[in-house]
């Protein structure tokens, strides 16, 4: 996405200006400086960038749990729990889905494959919730 944004800005500046706000909002922001610990750890960098982009919940998921892949029954159980506890409307579910997609992109960009696979669990949960649990 960053390469696309750069090419659009340099090769088609008039088109870029029309969609600048959308493109800027679609890209996650990166803090100016990383600490030494963050420079040495892909996970620390990914967590810091998530927090910097107001993805606190996603960052906390990486700090507090083993990063296992959920099987289909676990994804279904999480959807049932999500429906019974929060009964999210479609808009809120789509927003959560997109936030997890951004968190996954951040993890991928910092080569944190376990974190990206873990974020994929929640992408699957919210996608199933939207497809099967909303009226």
Q: pTM to 2 decimals?
A: 0.78
| pLDDT for res 21 | 65
**Residue corresponding to tokens 């906390």:** 60
* pLDDT at residue 123, rounded to an integer: 97
CA distances from 41 to 25, 36, 45, 52, 117 (A): 26, 9, 6, 17, 17
The full 3-state SS of the chain, as one line of letters, equals CHHHHHHHHHHCHHHHHHHHHHHHHHCCCCCCCCCHHHHHCHHHHHHHHHHHCCCHHHHHHHHHCCCCCCCHHHHHHHHHHHHHHCCCCHHHHHHHHHHHHHHHHHHHHCCCHHHHHHHHHHHHHHHHHHHHCCC
Q: What is the pLDDT of residue 81?
A: 96
* pLDDT for the residue numbered 35: 85
pLDDT at 92: 94
Quick one: CA torsion of 125, 106, 58, 99, rounded to 10 degrees?
A: -60
Structure tokens at 35: 């600490």
Residue 129 CB partners (closer than 8 Å, separation 6+): 79, 82, 83, 88, 93
What is residue 75's predicted lDDT score, i.e. its pLDDT?
Answer: 97
Q: What is the pLDDT of residue 66?
A: 77
CA distance 15 to 135: 38
pLDDT by 10s per residue, the chain, length 135? 455 566 666 777 776 676 666 556 656 778 888 888 888 888 999 999 999 999 999 999 997 667 899 999 999 999 999 999 999 999 999 999 999 999 999 999 999 999 999 999 999 999 999 999 997
pLDDT attached to residue 25? 61
């Amino acid at each position: 996405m960053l390469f696309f944004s750069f090419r659009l800005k340099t090769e088609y500046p008039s088109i870029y200006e029309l969609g600048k706000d959308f493109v800027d909002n679609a890209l996650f922001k990166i803090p100016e400086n990383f600490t030494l610990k963050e420079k040495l750890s892909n996970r620390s960098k990914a967590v810091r960038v998530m927090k910097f982009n107001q993805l606190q919940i996603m960052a906390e998921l990486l700090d507090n749990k083993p990063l296992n892949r959920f099987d289909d029954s676990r994804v279904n159980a999480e959807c049932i729990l999500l429906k019974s506890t929060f009964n999210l409307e479609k808009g809120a579910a789509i927003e959560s889905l997109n936030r997890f997609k951004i968190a996954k992109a951040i993890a991928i960009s910092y080569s944190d494959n376990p974190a990206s696979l873990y974020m994929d669990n929640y992408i699957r949960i919210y996608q199933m919730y939207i497809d099967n649990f909303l009226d």
